[in-house]
Amino acid sequence: MTTVLGCIADDFTGATDIAGLLARSGVKVSLRIGVPDSAPEDTAAFEVIALKSRTAPVAGAVAETRAALRWLRDAGAGRFFWKYCSTFDSTPEGNIGPVAEALMADLGVDQTIYCPAFPENGRSIFMGNLFVGRQPLAESPMKDHPLTPMRDSNLMRLLAPQVTRPVGLVDRLTVAQGAGALRARLAGLRGEGVAHVVVDAVANEDLEVIAEACRDMVLMTGGSAVAMPLPGLYLRDGVLAADAARGAVPELGAGAVVLSGSCSAMTRAQVAAYLAQGAPGYRLDPLALAKDGPQGALDWLAAQDPARAPLIYATAEPDNVRAAQDRLGVAAAGEIVEATLAACAVAARDAGARRFVVAGGESSGAVTQALGVSRLDIGAEIAPGVPWTFCRSDGADIALALKSGNFGTEDFFADALAGLEAM
Ligand code: ADP
């Protein structure tokens, strides 16, 4: 199938987020982990490429994004979306602006929009200022982010040092007048040479107006939410064939496993709830793993009935995590847990498990890599931002639910497995 929209995301969970929102429309969406090595084949109407470029040096991020663009153009895409975080995570050195300018140059376009708003998740933009819930971005917890501390809430001021051409704004008063007014304002700004246009949005209706006005732009940029209306608009316009529906759920064996490497508050509640329901569980202790290796976990797993979806978890309270990090170092503690979860995933697959629920962004990356997965087809959403995905691993059809830290509600693990049954 010819690709209609090609999306490039600057991190993995950002890619699953936009892929899940596009798939809400029921059309076929594929997610590729990294730029594929081979030429496009068997492509979907919507292709999403997940990069790991959010905090990479600018030159590397630009080069990787341009490679992704080439692949998507080869897949037939004529429209493109550059997806970054809804809190505009970046430093004055990059990468959102430089990547956008490189994409604009390659595509030969002289204007794009920036709309990281995601009102359902409390991200809104008013007069060019980004809010997280009721707080301006620079007063939100993002001000203390370890890698990308956000100390200004004004998107024009954040963007200007990252780009070479003029930055402007279309504010909410114009967006509220509808798609025609927004288009006219964008044309006016183009006449003034404004290449980079921040667009206000405080509610889903605003995103619909923006998507309607900008659906034919060759390049749009933003968070995932402004892309959500695009499939419906393309279907209406006839750009997307009505038969672009996603495929059926593959036949999957009964075995399942739940792997949790996230220590976020919601994941801790999810692990507790799953164990309280009587699910079999095995706790990974990084200190014991450092001493004895993963064999204990693998032996325990081998003795379980895969039909009961056993849980292996490193999920622990902050004090516990700190104690392990003090002894082993932050990176080493994380790596030893990730390597063990990855080994358990492979062992579970080899023992017949075909449904995998994984908690944790980094943990999900480690598991997908170990399973040799490079392409995921996106299925139905389990919780906002977390779809079931389908892929091949060592010749078998498998299903993966990859959940980053605070996503989902307490019963996520059981709900996810039950939801797959019902599909
Ligand atoms: P989240 O999405 O919640 O941020 P991640 O999987 O991205 O979850 O990150 C959690 C990190 O913490 C991983 O690197 C994981 O290996 C590490 N980790 C998990 N459990 C422990 C623990 N008990 N002690 C130390 N580090 C841990």
Name, in order, each residue with C-beta under 8 angstroms of 260's C-beta and a sequence gap of 6 or more. 267, 270, 271, 311, 312, 313, 314, 315, 358, 359, 360, 363
Ligand 1 contact via 360 beta carbon (within 6 Å):
yes
263 CA to centre of ligand 1 in angstroms: 6
List domains and CATH numbers for the chain: 5-237 (3.40.50.10840), 255-422 (3.40.980.20)
Q: What is the pLDDT of residues 352-387, one digit of tens each?
A: 999 999 999 889 989 999 999 999 999 988 887 789
Question: Does the pTM of the predicted model rise above 0.85?
Answer: yes
Average pLDDT over residues 381-405: 90
Backbone angles phi, psi at 328, to 5 degrees: -105, -20
Ligand 1 contact via 404 beta carbon (within 6 Å):
yes
Nearest protein Cα to ligand 1, atom 12: 334
363 CA to centre of ligand 1 in angstroms: 7
Q: How confident is the model at residue 243 (pLDDT cuts 50, 70, 90)?
A: low
Closest ligand 1 atom to residue 267 Cα is: 3
Backbone angles phi, psi at 241, to 5 degrees: -70, 145
pLDDT at res. 121? 85
Q: Is the pLDDT of residue 134 over 80?
A: yes
Nearest protein Cα to ligand 1, atom 10: 262
330 CA to centre of ligand 1 in angstroms: 10
Q: Is the pLDDT of residue 301 over 70?
A: yes
Residue among 330, 362, 403 whose CB has most ligand 1 atoms within 8 A, to mutate:
362
pLDDT at res. 196? 98
Nearest protein Cα to ligand 1, atom 14: 334
Q: Are 348 and 382 in contact (CB under 8 A)?
A: no
Q: What is the pLDDT of residues 171-191, one digit of tens each?
A: 999 999 999 999 999 999 999
Q: What is the pLDDT of residues 76-94, one digit of tens each?
A: 999 999 999 888 988 888 8
Ligand 1 contact via 333 beta carbon (within 6 Å):
yes
Ligand 1 contact via 405 beta carbon (within 6 Å):
yes
Average pLDDT over residues 31-55: 93
Ligand 1 contact via 311 beta carbon (within 6 Å):
no
339 CA to centre of ligand 1 in angstroms: 11
Ligand 1 contact via 314 beta carbon (within 6 Å):
yes
Average pLDDT over residues 91-104: 92
Of 136-150, 206-220, 249-263, 273-287, where does mean pLDDT reach its minimum?
A: 136-150
pLDDT at res. 322? 92
Average pLDDT, the chain: 94
Percent of the chain with pLDDT over 90: 79
73 CA to centre of ligand 1 in angstroms: 36
Q: Are 95 and 53 in contact (CB under 8 A)?
A: yes
Q: Is the pLDDT of residue 262 over 80?
A: yes
Nearest protein Cα to ligand 1, atom 27: 334
Average pLDDT over residues 99-120: 97
406 CA to centre of ligand 1 in angstroms: 12
334 CA to centre of ligand 1 in angstroms: 6
Q: Is the pLDDT of residue 345 over 90?
A: yes
Q: Which of 300, 386, 288 is nearest to 343 (CA)?
A: 300
Residue among 328, 337, 358, 403 whose CB has most ligand 1 atoms within 8 A, to mutate:
337
Average pLDDT over residues 127-136: 96
328 CA to centre of ligand 1 in angstroms: 14
Residue among 16, 262, 315 whose CB has most ligand 1 atoms within 8 A, to mutate:
262
Q: How confident is the model at residue 244 (pLDDT cuts 50, 70, 90)?
A: low
